[in-house]
Amino acid sequence: MTTDLYGKLSFDQTVPRSLAHRQAVGEVFVTDSAPGPDGDFLVAVQVPRAHSLWFDRLTAYHDPFSTAEAARQGSFVVLHRYFGVPVGLPFSLLRWQFRVHDLHAYRDDERSPLQGVLRYRVTDKSKGGELGDMTLSGELTIGTTTAMTFTGDVVFFGKEDYAALREFQQASKPPPDPAAAAVTPLDPALVGRRDRRNVVIGDGERFAYVIDTSHPSYFDHAYDHVPGPFIVEGFRQAAVVAAVRSGELASPVAAVLGCSTTFGSFGEFGALLECSAEVTGAAGGRVTVGLELHQYGKRLASAGIELGPYPA
| pLDDT of amino acid 126 | 58
What band does 4 get if pLDDT is binned at 50, 70 and 90?
low
CB atoms closer than 10 angstroms to residue 13: 10
| pLDDT of amino acid 130 | 52
| pLDDT of amino acid 139 | 97
- The 3-state DSSP class for residue 146 equals strand
pTM of the model: 0.94
Is residue 139 packed enough to be buried (19+ CB in 10 Å), middle (13-18) or exposed (0-12)?
buried
Whether the domain at 17-159 and the domain at 173-308 fall into the same CATH topology: yes
Distance, C-alpha 235 to centroid of its chain: 10
Instruction: Please compute the mean of the pLDDT values over residues 134-145 and round it to a whole number.
Output: 95
Going across the sheet that includes 133-142, the strands are 30-35, 41-47, 114-124, 133-142, 145-156, 91-100, 254-263, 298-309, 286-295, 274-283, 207-208
Average pLDDT, the chain: 92
What band does 125 get if pLDDT is binned at 50, 70 and 90?
low
How do the domains of the chain map onto residue ranges?
17-159, 173-308
Instruction: Please compute the mean of the pLDDT values over residues 93-122 and round it to a whole number.
Output: 95
Q: Where do the DSSP E strands lie in the chain? A: 30-35, 41-47, 91-100, 114-124, 133-142, 145-156, 207-208, 254-263, 274-283, 286-295, 298-309
| pLDDT of amino acid 131 | 56
| Best CA proximity match to 294, nearest among 272, 269, 261, 270 | 272
**CATH, range 173-308:** 3.10.129.10
Query: Could you confirm whether domain 17-159 is CATH 3.50.50.60?
Result: no
Q: What is the pLDDT of residues 192-234, one digit of tens each?
A: 999 999 999 999 889 999 999 999 999 999 999 999 999 999 9
Task: Give the 3-state secondary structure of 285-306.
Answer: CEEEEEEEEEECCEEEEEEEEE
Q: What is the pLDDT of residues 5-39, one digit of tens each?
A: 566 899 999 999 999 999 999 999 999 999 998 89
- Taking 90 as the threshold, does the pLDDT of residue 248 lie above it? yes
Contact present, 301 and 264 (Cβ < 8 Å): yes
C-alpha to C-alpha distances, 163 to 133, 158, 160, 168, 175, nearest whole angstrom:
18, 9, 5, 9, 20
Q: What is the pLDDT of residues 162-178, one digit of tens each?
A: 999 999 988 888 888 88
